[in-house]
Amino acid sequence: MESPRAADQPVLVSRSVRLDGERPSFRATLNALDSPRTVWDAADEPTVVAGGAAATLTADGPNRFDHIRQAAESLFSSGDVHAGTEAACPRLFGGFTFHADQPTETDEPEVGASGATVDTDGGLTTEPQSDDATATDASPWAAFPDARFVFPRVQVTITDRGPWLTVNAVGPDASVEAVETRLETERERIESLPVADPETPRPGIVDRRRTTTPESWRAGVTAATDRIEAGALQKVVLAQALEVDLAADLAVGDILSRLGEKYPACNRFLIEPAGPEPPAFFGATPERLVSLRGRTVETDALAGTTGRGETPAEDEWLACELLADPKNVHEHDLVAETIRDQLAPFAASVSAGEQQIKRLANVQHIHTPITAELAEDTHVLSLVEALHPTPAVGGLPPDKALETIRETEPFDRGWYAAPIGWIDAAGNGTFAVGLRSAVATRRQATLFAGVGIVGDSDPDREWDEVELKFRPILDELEAE
Ligand SMILES: C=C(O[C@@H]1C=C(C(=O)O)C=C[C@H]1O)C(=O)O
């Protein structure tokens, strides 16, 4: 049964089926899917592993959130969807750059009425879409536009009650019959994947280049604290990049699988642009930007950091010291207050929980959970736009902080510290902040880590905090 379609409108067809047998291995599933691949694994949500692009939405510039929202609404409005369970419903996965006006090097296919570029696969072909960027481009972000969302061709959703498979198609040639046939072949393929398979060893690092020397870091932090003391700025988050050459090929499935074991409270993600050997942006971030279900919003203020102890008693001591430290509490309070202010125009009510400790394998953070009930129906991307960047990754006031970041950091943040997540047809979604992350090609990775600077920040202690925040990814790249 086909839905009516306008001749000039892309049509979306989506079908899902429950997979039988034991859940296939995460790595085997990821490795079996075509690029561009997506991984999304957030607390209290089903894990999604997806591949291929039935449609790709891209947008540039300061209005990128709005352009993607409009393009997504238009895409989903043409839907002929049978999902079987809510978790298997078709979704768009992607993200944004940190700054609004990155130079981009994408192809320019047809531009949709929304201002976003909508590129469909015209049905169910298996040709990879073309992007010009290759591993030899100077910026690791050359293949990442200001905003990019992929509507996957194949989506495997692992729920508490078992795995589901979704197959999507978009375009004038998309047909229910072709999608149902593909659903059957993909089901056979995924069900026959191994439930366990051997991991490859960590690749090892042969060379590393830090963007920032200890001297230039000290100078940058001191210039920022001078600005704060002069009253022009309250807080700024300064970051560093670390570029490493790998001794063996990067196996992103293995890295994500180990990150999941070591950082179970974090949100794992993988985003690939298109191309035969696309770069990958991946990580395990502790920070949720926002999640929206209906009119209920959940978010987190996460800022203020200390290390882990050698013993549970030392951990506890460090946590108590962190919660009593005026510098870290000030840094945290600025974030929590700003998030509440940013949500206020949308909300009938906003409430913040108790300050608590979020304890990860490498660090401990101060964490305040924040919830809100919206006054009216709102798309998750409108909230993303209002919240990004929070002072946990930008600063206060936002304009002065962004100016300081641009003047100080000698590299492009790209998608680091920016919103990464998913949206569905109803405008629900979850977005994380792309931290504890790297952008990598087969033999090279660039890692990012930043710290909040307030008036009494000490450059050397902040340097040590950057080191701790590189650890999650660095540990997975260094040979044992
Ligand atoms: C900027 C980063 O982390 C952010 C900064 C923190 C801080 O300054 O204490 C803590 C958590 C994050 O909000 C990063 O991990 O790169």
**pLDDT at res. 2:** 41
How many Å apart are CA 448 and CA 333, to the nearest integer?
24
CA of 450 to the centre of ligand 1 (A): 6
Claim to verify: residue 386 and residue 320 sit in the same structural domain: yes
pLDDT at 78: 81
Per-residue model confidence (pLDDT) at position 13: 95
Q: Tell me, yes or no, if 186 is annotated catalytic.
A: no
Which residue range is the domain that position 140 belongs to? 12-191
Kindly give the distance from the C-alpha atom of residue 315 to the centroid of ligand 1, in angstroms, as a whole number: 19
Whether 3 is covered by a domain: the verdict is no
Residues 178 and 220 in one domain: no
Last residue of a domain, one of 165, 191, 217: 191
> Angle 64-77/380-387 helices, nearest 10 degrees?
170
State residue 116's pLDDT score: 77
What pLDDT is recorded for position 225? 97
In a domain, 2, yes or no: no
Of ligand 1's listed atoms, the one at least distance from the Cα of 449 is 16
CA torsion 3→5→9→15, rounded to 10°?
10
Domain holding 349: CATH number? 3.60.120.10
**Do 26 and 112 fall into the same domain?**
yes
418 CA distance to ligand 1 centroid (A)? Answer: 12
Which structure tokens are listed for 272? 């690939």
Looking at the structure, tell me whether residues 153 and 213 fall in a common domain. no
User: Which residue's CA is minimally distant from atom 1 of ligand 1?
Assistant: 450
Question: Does 371 reside within a domain?
Answer: yes
- The residue whose CA is least distant from atom 11 of ligand 1 is 303
| pLDDT for the residue 285 | 98
Look at residues 128, 162, 191 and tell me which one is the last residue of a structural domain. Answer: 191
Question: Nearest-CA neighbor of 133 among 273, 247, 323, 283?
Answer: 273
Bridge partners of residue 39, in order along the sequence: 49, 270
Look at the chain and report how many structural domains it folds into: 2
pLDDT less than 50: residues of the chain? 1-5, 102-111, 113, 122-137
Q: What is the pLDDT of residue 103?
A: 45
Reported for 73-78, long-range contacts at CB under 8 A and 24+ positions apart, including other chains, are 73/114, 73/379, 73/427, 74/9, 74/112, 74/113, 74/114, 74/118, 75/10, 75/12, 75/118, 75/151, 75/170, 76/12, 76/424, 76/425, 78/3, 78/5, 78/9, 78/10, 78/11, 78/12
Please tell me the predicted confidence (pLDDT) of residue 125.
Answer: 33
Which ligand 1 atom minimizes the distance to the CA of 302?
13
Of 444, 445, 449, the C-alpha closest to 433 is 449
Q: What is the pLDDT of residue 136?
A: 43
- Based on the domain organization, do 78 and 176 belong to the same domain? yes
| Distance of CA 291 from the midpoint of ligand 1 (Å) | 19
pTM (two decimals): 0.92
Residues 251, 328, single domain; the answer is yes
Residue 115 falls within a domain, yes or no?
yes
Residues 224 and 165 in one domain: no
CA-nearest residue, atom 9 of ligand 1: 304
d(CA 415, CA 139): 12
Name the catalytic one among 186, 272, 287, 385. Answer: 287
Are 325 and 364 in the same domain?
yes
Q: Tell me the C-alpha distance between 247 and 266, whole Å.
A: 27
**Is 324 exposed, middle or buried (CB count within 10 Å of its CB: 0-12, 13-18, 19+)?**
exposed
Counting from 1 in the atom list of ligand 1, the atom nearest the Cα of 393 is 1
CA dihedral in degrees (157, 163, 164, 168; nearest 10)?
40
Q: Is residue 228 part of a domain?
A: yes
Residue 197 lies in a domain: no
Going from the Cα of 121 to the center of ligand 1, the distance in angstroms, rounded, reads: 38
What confidence score (pLDDT) does residue 172 get?
Answer: 85
Are 35 and 155 part of one and the same domain?
A: yes
- Ligand 1 binding pocket mutation candidate from 235, 409, 451 (most atoms within 8 A of CB): 451
- Is 5 part of a structural domain of the chain? no
Ligand 1 mutation pick, 469, 470, 473, 474, max ligand atoms within 8 A of CB:
469
- Asked if residue 187 and residue 239 are part of one domain, the reply reads no
Closest atom, ligand 1, to C-alpha of 285? 15
- Residue 74 sits in the same domain as residue 176: yes
This model of the complex carries an ipTM of 0.98
Ligand 1: list residues with CB < 6 Å.
Answer: 237, 239, 287, 302-305, 365, 392-393, 417, 435-436, 449-452, 469
Q: Are residues 180 and 278 in the same domain?
A: no
Catalytic residue selected from 186, 235, 331, 469: 235
Q: Which of 166, 191, 216 is the last residue of a domain?
A: 191
Let me know if 287 is a catalytic residue: yes
Cβ pair 228, 444 in contact under 8 A: no
- For residue 198, being part of any structural domain is answered with no
